[in-house]
Amino acid sequence: MTMTGHDVLVLSPSFGQWSPAPRARMDALGLTARATIARSPLTSAQLQAEIGTAEALIVGLDEVDAAAIAAGEHLKVIAKHGVGVDNIDVAAAKAHGITVVNVPGANHAAVADLVFGLLLGLARHIVEAHRSVVAGEWAKFHGPELSGKQLGIVGLGRIGCEVARRARGFGMTLLAYDPYAPAERFEAEGAARADDLDALFASSDMVTLHLPSSGTTLVDERRLALMRPGALLINAARGDLVDEDAVAAALASGRLGGYAADAFASEPPVGSPLLAASNVLLTPHIGAFTDRANELMGVSVVEDIAAVLDGRSPRNPV
């Protein structure tokens, strides 16, 4: 069904950025896109100032709290251009009769690809080696092979499973922690089940995080101290899962062999101790930034917005 006159405020700068399909679908459905003036991610105050007559929001990492939601007098649907909705006050939206949707499953392959890019780059010092060649130094860099190493996967959801499949291809042994995943999922992915998170950190050569934000720090000084000397840690999930000061200290002491991150406690991570740390590989939250993921996420949110505005049930309600 084609609609006209529906104001959709696009907060996510990556919406339709690498695929024309999402905006083409929006045009076909008669939805009107409106860009924000403020630079993403928007604070609650910025969103309140810009929300105006918007009936729908396409959200990235913006602060969509109760105050911002209350400012949207015409708001009917909030669509997360991604999976995690920890930056959206879902309870406040529900209280205002606003539907929240997200896009589960669209970016899991893209994020898993990046995880292995980070893991290989960190283990084999690829960035440093490149810089050495460019500088004419021809330095040699030593690093571990992945084959035979134990990868601890924290969170065996869609992304965790994709990581497990790639890890098997590299000949790694797998230990996973996820208290909510059924036993058959561990078996299907060839991963031993860790019932205790501390045990996973203590026994793994490399650990990768794939849990949503919970409001509590998962990797702190105590848990870092459990890790094998020289172990590697990858965080392509949420920045607040990790105590960045503790990670920097563990890197400085040599306890932690390396840290790679695509998510930070504050983005961009201005002033983070990680910026001055050694043996780090840092990327600007680009896990979902592929052409295929961009198309799948964008088209999904557009179609779910259209469904809600048309009085139909969306495919991916939160």
285 catalytic residue (yes or no): yes
Beta-strand (E) ranges in 68-217?
Answer: 77-80, 99-101, 150-154, 173-177, 191-193, 206-209
73, 145, 187, 267: which is the annotated catalytic residue? 267
72-107 burial: b if 16+ Cβ within 10 Å, else e: beebbbbbbbbbebebbbbebbeeeebbbbbbbebb
185, 238, 244, 295: which is the annotated catalytic residue? 238
244 catalytic residue (yes or no): no
How open is the CA angle 139-142-271, to the nearest 5 degrees? 80
How far, in Å, CA of 25 to CA of 30, rounded?
Answer: 9
One-letter amino acid identity for 126?
A: I
- What residues are labeled active site? 238, 267, 285
